[in-house]
A = this chain, B = another copy of it.
């Protein structure tokens, strides 16, 4: 896929040539020179589902761009209860600037590929380029909006509304170009039942029961436990509590 090309022809490092983060991600804030400097110390990795990317209370010395796959952000109580507090999709930026330690855990929910760079490199560029900080602020504000939306779901919605809301949210994120007026979609669930439960503040059993209820009511179809088809998005939305 990747074509060999002289760096100097475009000024953009080979690593970054076809990288989506250069367009919609934070790297779009950088000029060719900054990209080149950053690319020297950055590297791509492919990660299996379940692998921890950032450990709780662990010193973080890397930031990353998520290039493909889904990453779940989790927090845990001392007795093991767990809550997923965010999902990240490509081309999100992974990492918590201005704090030495991360208070949350980031784990690959699906197969994932990331581009990571040393923390110091990013922070240096941030100082000299306000545009990078601007993009980070925008992403952070969006994440805050999403977090607050989920607080409503967690605090005030019933189990069936939670599951419907979850499916809608996934559908919109897997297929960002999804027309709001579209009436059907299908997608692969990036999370297993246990993760969905941890995301919605429910148990596995309740998630399963609500999914089968949606299925027997004809709102969705499920194949191989993962592939979901929504034939009537409006009906699903009506069940999400709006």
Contact = CB atoms under 8 A, between A and B. Distances in A.
Contacts of A136: 137
A13 B53 CA distance: 48
Interface residues of A, number: 42
Best-surrounded residue of A75, A103, A138, A152 (most CB of chain B within 10 A): A152
A223 B133 CA distance: 47
Contact of A150 (B140, B151, B198): B151
Q: How many copies does the complex hold?
A: 2
Nearest to A128: B130
Contact of A77 (B104, B200, B201, B241): B241
Interface stretch (A82-90, A172-180, A207-215, A224-232): A82-90
A97 interface: yes
Interface string A110-139: 000000000000000000001001101110
A141 B140 contact: yes
Interface of A: 73, 75, 77-79, 81-83, 85-86, 96-99, 103-104, 130, 133-134, 136-138, 140-141, 143-145, 147-152, 154-157, 198, 200-201, 241-242
